[in-house]
Amino acid sequence: MNLHVLCTNHELKLDLFDQYREEDWIGVDKGTLILLQNDIRPIAAFGDFDSCSVDELDYIKSKIEIEQLPPEKNETDLEVALQFTTQLGYRKVFIHGATGKRLDHFLGNLQTLLHQDVLLSETEYYIVNEDNTISVLTTGTHIIEKESDKQYVSFMPINDGVKITIEDLKYNVEQYEIRFGLTRTVSNEFVSERGTITIENGMVYMIQSRA
């Protein structure tokens, strides 16, 4: 079974709750309230809940137990939640509502995919919204399965000096060094249901996107 983590109601997939109602969920801050309002009881909830009103927080507490965090802390609510998920043994974790209005929050959420506990976990982690799926690929060879509603796939370097070999996509390269500031590996395209990427000397973000 997969696990879903809800942060906010920003840029969610259509029919998200109906599609994954029977799978497990974790609420992060106001995402907890949104889950309860959609008749989904999360298995856990984390946050300082500063985005909730007093009445909303009282409502949440009347329904489930929460891990209420202090508003002043060294980690974001999502980072704390993801550290918890690494102990649960799920095959995949999908993070929703993490690409919303504030770009600092979005970039911070991207950073959580690089947390040591997340990288060392056997669980696969994805940040998803209505148009994109973001994940981290580490050193090695990866078979990329095309998502049914996606056409484009991009690769962004996480560290300098990373080299990639791309096969079976529209634009293929061999041991190409992705340097910061260059955009050659943006907006590649699938030509079949899968492609292959080999990564040397580091990691990349992979983003599958709708047309």
Domain match, 125 and 44 both: yes
Domain match, 119 and 17 both: yes
Among 85, 115, 130, identify where a domain stops.
130
The pTM assigned to this predicted structure is: 0.95
Asked if residue 46 lies in contact with residue 69, where contact means CB atoms within 8 angstroms, the answer is: yes
Domain match, 109 and 159 both: no
Look at residue 22 in the predicted model and tell me its pLDDT: 95
Q: Is the pLDDT of residue 101 over 90?
A: no
Look at residue 88 in the predicted model and tell me its pLDDT: 97
pLDDT digits (tens, 9 = 90+) for 174-203: 999 999 999 999 999 999 999 999 999 999
Domain match, 112 and 165 both: no
- How does DSSP assign 43-73, residue by residue? SEEEE--TTS-HHHHHHHHHHS--EEPPSS-
Domain match, 60 and 155 both: no
Its domain, for residue 103, covers 3-130
Distance CA 158, CA 144 (A): 18
Helix (H, G, I), strand (E, B) or coil at 28: strand
Mean pLDDT confidence for 117-123: 96
pLDDT digits (tens, 9 = 90+) for 11-51: 999 899 999 999 999 999 999 999 999 999 999 999 999 99
What CATH number is associated with residue 36? 3.40.50.10240
Strand partners, 140: 199
- Integer angstrom CA distances of residue 21 from 16, 40, 125, 134: 8, 7, 19, 22
Amino acid at the residue 170:
K
Domain match, 143 and 174 both: yes
Domain match, 179 and 152 both: yes
Domain match, 18 and 111 both: yes
Domain match, 100 and 181 both: no
Domain match, 21 and 49 both: yes
Domain match, 88 and 33 both: yes
Domain match, 117 and 191 both: no
Among 66, 95, 130, identify where a domain stops.
130
Among 83, 98, 130, identify where a domain stops.
130
Q: How many domains does the chain have?
A: 2
